[in-house]
Every structure is written in structure tokens, then in C-alpha cells.
Structure 1
Amino acid sequence: MVLRQRKNTNIQKVVQELDAFPKVPETFVEQTTSGASISVVTFLLVTSLLWSELAYFWNPGFRFKFTPDSDFESKLTINVDMTVAMPCDMIGADILDSTNQNTFSFGRLKEEPTWFELDHLQRNHFEAIQTFNEYLREGSHSIQDVLWKSGQSTFFGEIPPRRSTPEEPHDACRVHGSLSLNKVAGNFHITAGKSVPLMGGHAHLTAFMGPQDYNFSHRIDKFSFGSPHGGVIQPLEGDEKIADKNMMNFQYFIQVIPTEVQMVSGFTYPTYQYSVKEQLRPIDHTTGSHGVSGIYFKYDVNALKVLVIQDREPLWQFLVRLCAGIGGLVATSQMVCGLIQALVRFYCCPDIPEKKQSNVSGMKTVDLIPPQERVAPGAERHHPHAVTLDQVQKLIHDQ
């Protein structure tokens, strides 16, 4: 029984020697003012780190991937709301794509007579849209994560109605609505004259119009593809062009990019983005600038699709990164505390030797050796009843 207990004690001792985290009794810990100050700073830093890491974890970001677009059967919806500075009976809006399909099968846009000049309230609203969209297009590409998370398809509502009706007759036409198109290259255009079907295509009747009747100044309130969704910047919204000549040709070259958004909740929805280049030139056959006056939106669908993935790191990875950050702060604070204490001892108290033992508890030390038995340093101390080596050798020799 004794041997078994001794064996268990030895095993326990061996296991204790493997402890990589030695414990120091509190009575041997020296507490200083500098250590307390660094502890407070470390606690504040750890709290700030914990708060920022939790905020980052609960607000996942987005990452982007490119993949071939294999969806060839779906339709492409175009949403238009624009105003042209010509009466509705003098213009026609049509689409012609690479399949030469009948344009009337795509649907028809609504034409609403109106005035091109905006009143004060409408002008302020439109200029706010212009300023905001220009700010997003040119200087704030870094806030795309905020836009995707917002979920807002537009930051402005419909243009407010006029507060007063002008006395002049309508001089403009508002063209608005949605069309369902094939996912192929096409040309959406607004030109002079109403369109009529002709030999698989269409033609615009302009026989009774003179050059003085042309004015393709226009204002674009909405122009998008697919279902609207927050985070997609529509480059043409808020665009306004004023023609300085009657015979003008406005061309917009649009690259439509299929987009699929995958949220962290598992919800997935398709939409479209687009980039655009524009060109405007006067039509003057005498100088070699040929063409037809009008507004042309020439679009093409990209073969690559963009995946917008809301990405949140796994919980275990978040915990590992959090523990590593907190551990690094605590270890660094201990190093800084030791360095400060060493510098204080070196510069402030260079002549005072470092204490090897300190009575931290504040208790009085009691000397248990009687004064008469104290021995001077370096002398040998003999017990009164001790037997010396010479006495033992003499006893053996006598026997």
C-alpha cells in the first residue's frame, strides 16, 4: 500500500514538472504604479479590439468573382424614363437587336406630353440626383460595400409634380416604361418621326419635318437593366444633354454585365450592371459628318457574369484571430512594463542593489537561533554532543 502510494506520488510529481504555466503565489507579486497604469491601458485596448472585431464579424463584406454566363434563355429587361425636347407626335422610340426580331414584340414605351423646362422644385430635385450620381461615379468607388448592404435601389424618389401649369403648349415628350429584350446586342433609339414596320424592320416617317423641328436635347431620369437593387450604380441616371444645334447625333455605347448577388443569409437574386461611353456630334453632310439625328443606346451583353458574394468568416476563425490579438496585446504590455521598470531602476536608483528577497507580506522576521549559539561568518559550528572523526579513529585503534 505504501509502495503504491509512493508510485502515485512520483507520477504526480512528474506530471507537475511538465506544467508549462507555473503559478506564482500572490504574496511574491510586487505591485507598482507603472504596472497599474499599463494594465488600465491594456484593458482599454483589449476592449476596443473586442468591439471592433465583433463589429467586423457581424457586418460581413463582399468579394467579387467572374464566371461565364450560361443563362442564354432569360430575357433582359430595360427600364427607361427620359424626356426629349420634342413633341410626342414628332419622335418614335424603337429597338432593333441582332436577331432582327419584330420590335413590337418587345413591348411599347409610354409617351407622355410634357414641358422640357423644369420648375424650381423639380430643378433642385434633378440637380441633387446629378450631384449624387456624379459623386458616386467619380470619387466614391470605395463605398461599394455600403451601397450593396443598403438594399436601396434608389436614394431619390420620383421627380415631384409641377406646382403650376405653364401657359405654353407642350414642347417635350416623356418616354418611360420597361421592355423585355433578348440577351443579345441591340440598338435602342429615339429618332424623329413615328416608326412603321417595313420588310422585317421598321422605318421612321419624317417627310413633313424640317431641320428646324429637330431638337434632341434630353434628360435621363432612369435608365437601368433588370430588376433594380441596392448597390448598383446606374451611370446614365441624372444625365442631361442640351443640343446646341438642331441636327445632333447622341450615341451611348453600353456594356451590360450580368450580376448575381449572394447574401450571407442564402438569398440569391440576379440583376445587371452596365458601363457606358458616349459620343455626340453634329450631322452635317457638307462636312462629311453623315448619319441620322437622334439618341442611340447601343448595348451589348458581356459573356462573363459577376458574382457578388457576401462573405463572413467562420466562427472558429474569428475566435482564433480574436484570441491571438488579445494575447499579443497582453504579452506586449508585459514587455513594456518590464522595460519601464528596468529604465526606472537604471536612471533613478543606480546605486541601490536589487533585492533578492522581499518581505511582501509585511510580517516581522523572527530569528529562532539563540544568541549564544550564533557563529561568526566563516567559522565552523559544532554541536555540543557531536563526535569528531579523530575520536572515532582512536576508538577503532584501541579495540
Structure 2
Amino acid sequence: MENILSLKGLSERIRSLDVYPKVLEDFRIKTFGGATVTIISGLIMSVLFISELNYYLTPELREELLVDVSRGDKLRINLDVVFPHISCHFLAIDAIDVSGEQHINIEHNVFKRRLSLKGEPIEKPEKDNTIGSSNRTNKELVKAVTERVTTTTLDPNRCESCYGAENERRKCCNSCDDVRMAYSEKGWGLNNLQDILQCKREGMSERLDNFDKEGCQVFGYVEVNRVGGNLHIAPGKSFTKHHIHVHDLSLNDFQRFNLTHKIRHLSFGRTVAGKTNPLDGTVQIAAEGSMMFQYYIKIVATVFAKADGQTLQTNQFAVTRHRKPIQDTLTESGMPGVFFIYEFGPVMVKYSEINRSFMHF
């Protein structure tokens, strides 16, 4: 009994500390305006609470500049470029860096998709790539099938003629490209492909006649040394002659090459959600015949350090565009094509996620 009385006395003493006056229920007046103010105040407090909670839960992003020491690594170049007026067969993808390393006629991890002039993918069975268009006459189809059978039954150990262009290194020319390379190494021109058995067998004349009747989508990725260099997509078979990188345009009137293109995507390194790439969606129209398009790219290494300890390494870049018409491929004015010329900045940008203090919340 004494314990109950002591607790009641303690409760009375605590209650006596309440300095706010209390109004009896009979004297209270409840109005619509007062209820409105209460509701609005409650909403404002809820919004402020949610806003502060979201601010507390969102890590702070802190930026730092560091010296880039990642020169020995590899660089991945992701690309997706559409050429609406040139056939895939006449486009070569090459990469050259300042150390002298060359990747010529890249096919690994880079794909070419044939497009119609309307930009729609041309999907045909593999056998149709040799036979050609379904609109051919019966006579043409029979001829194409005959040539295909002849090709598939050729002796793999054969040694066919280079038509006078043989040398110590190249004794045999078993394909049209072999003959073209042999002639290029000699500095000779190759004009009439119908006289070359290998070219006639592969239907090269038909390809030349139809090189601007299709489009091409080039997509995939290329891994290169992490040093300055250039990646280019250009018409003509590429090769090295006297330590110089050249493209064979002798079989075509290079002024007919329409290098209008759309860069659907170009990035360097890993893809990070929310990162923008300056060249995505770029469209360039070649209105003056054969054109050379150059994109000078400055790459800055970027590191994202997450609050949970994970690290993502990628790259950001800035770009300057340049274009010029090509009048003569025999001069030093350049060559038709799309060139991505890149170099690296000396600094690295590091973005670090930092959790906010609960005391601040």
C-alpha cells in the first residue's frame, strides 16, 4: 500500500512540472480553418521528414583528381556505327597506336550487319550470301550455285597464279584478295577483275557494282593498348606497305564512297549506368562526295568508389569534330573514312560515395 502511495506521489510531482496550461474541453472551439491548418502542417512535416530521410540515405558523391598511372592496362572501345550507303564488304576496321602496334581488318568481337537502303537488317541464310539476291533469274542462280560448288570442292593444297605479281614471300594467290594484295605490293593497278579467275569465282565484279546498293552496321568492341592511337572504319582492303598503313581503293571510284554515318554508341571502358557519351546519336551527312570524318577524343580515366567498397573503373571523354572532302587519295590530303583519334589525359577523376552522418540527420 505504501508503495502505491509513493508511486502516486511521484507521478503528481512529475505532473507538476508541466508548464503548459490545459484548457477544459468545454472551453475548446474546433473550427474548419483550424483543421485545415493542422492537416497542412502535418503534410509539410511529413514532406520535410521524407526529404531529410532521403537526403540522409543518399550517399554524398565526392570528386578527387589524381595522377593516372594506368598506362599498362588495355582499353576497351565499344562502338555501334551505321553506314546507310556502303556495303559491309568494302568496309575495313583497323586500330593503330603510337607504339606502332597495328590491328588490321579487325573481325574478332566486331560484327558487320548488312542493311537495306531503308536501314532494315537483311536477314538471309548463310548460303544466300554466295548465291546473292533472291531476285536473280534462273540462269543466274544456276551459275551462282555452280560457282559455289566449284569453290567448295577446290583443292586446299592448290597454288594458283598471282598473274605475274609473285614474289619471294607470296608464291601463290588462291583468292581474289591474294591477287589484289600481290598487285598492291608491286605497285600495279588491277582493273579488269573478269580476267582474274579467283575474282570471277568469288563474284567480285558483282560486289563492286552493288557496293552502294546496301548499308552496313558495324558494332562490337575492340581491345587496344592504353596509349594514344586511332580506330578507323574506312573503305578498301587495308594492309601495310613499307611500314605505312594504306587502303586499296584501286578497284573503285573513291568519289562514289558515301560515308554518311550515324554513331549510335561510342564509349571507352565499362558501361556505367547514368554516364553520358558525347557522340551517342551523332549523325554526319557526306554531301560532297568522298569525305574524311575525324573525331579527336580526349579520354580521362574515371573511378567510381561505392560506399560498400566496390570500385568501377571506366572513362569519360570530350570530343572535337572535323570533316573535309578528299580530292585525291594519292596526295597527303587523307583518305575517306571515319577516324576516332584518341589520347589520354594525365589525370584521373575519382568519385567516392560517402555515407552521411546520423547526427546531421
Give TM-score, length-normalised by structure 2: 0.61
CA shift, 1:207, in A, is 1.8
Instruction: Summarize the alignment of residues 181-330 of structure 1 with structure 2, pairs less than 5 Å apart.
Output: 181-284=224-327, 290-318=333-361
CA shift, 1:195, in A, is 0.9
CA shift, 1:227, in A, is 1.6
Larger helix proportion of the pair? 1
SS in 2 for 1:89: helix
Q: Is 1:55 aligned to 2:50, yes or no?
A: no
Distance 2:78 2:65 in 1: 25
The answer (yes or no) to whether the contact 2:60–2:354 under 8 Å persists in 1 is yes
CA shift, 1:226, in A, is 0.8
Question: C-alpha deviations, 1:340-365, integer Å up to 9, x for none?
Answer: xxxxxxxxxxxxxxxxxxxxxxxxxx
CA spacing shift, 1:113–1:162, aligned 2, 3 Å? closer
What is residue 117 of structure 2 aligned with on the other side?
A: 117
Q: Among the aligned pairs, what percent are the same residue?
A: 26
CA shift, 1:264, in A, is 2.0
Structure with max Cα Rg = 1
CA shift, 1:23, in A, is 3.9
Distance 1:216 1:105 in 2: 18
CA shift, 1:225, in A, is 0.9
Distance 2:116 2:269 in 1: 28
Distance 2:231 2:57 in 1: 44
CA shift, 1:211, in A, is 3.2
Q: 83-92 or 29-38: which moved more?
A: 29-38
The answer (yes or no) to whether the contact 2:264–2:281 under 8 Å persists in 1 is yes
SS in 1 for 2:100: coil
Choose from 24, 34, 39 the match for 2:19.
Answer: 24
Question: C-alpha deviations, 1:277-330, integer Å up to 9, x for none?
Answer: 212222246xx9933222111111121112222333122221xxxxxxxxxxxx
Q: 26-35 or 68-77: which moved more?
A: 26-35
> Structure 1: which 5+ residue stretches go unaligned?
1-21, 123-160, 319-399
State the structure with bigger RCO (CA 8 A, min sep 6), 1 or 2: 2
CA shift, 1:223, in A, is 1.4
Write the letter of the residue equivalent to 1:280.
Answer: R
Write the letter of the residue equivalent to 1:186.
Answer: G
Task: Give me the CA root mean square deviation.
Answer: 3.5
Distance 2:96 2:244 in 1: 8
CA spacing shift, 1:163–1:27, aligned 2, 3 Å? same
CA shift, 1:261, in A, is 1.0
Distance 1:162 1:211 in 2: 25
The answer (yes or no) to whether the contact 1:250–1:295 under 8 Å persists in 2 is yes
Distance 2:289 2:105 in 1: 32
Distance 2:324 2:134 in 1: 32
Report the count of equivalent residues.
257
CA spacing shift, 1:242–1:44, aligned 2, 3 Å? closer
CA shift, 1:70, in A, is 1.7
CA spacing shift, 1:33–1:212, aligned 2, 3 Å? same
Distance 2:262 2:240 in 1: 28
Distance 2:134 2:283 in 1: 21
SS in 1 for 2:359: helix
CA shift, 1:43, in A, is 4.2
SS in 2 for 1:260: strand
The answer (yes or no) to whether the contact 2:235–2:247 under 8 Å persists in 1 is yes
Distance 1:162 1:204 in 2: 27
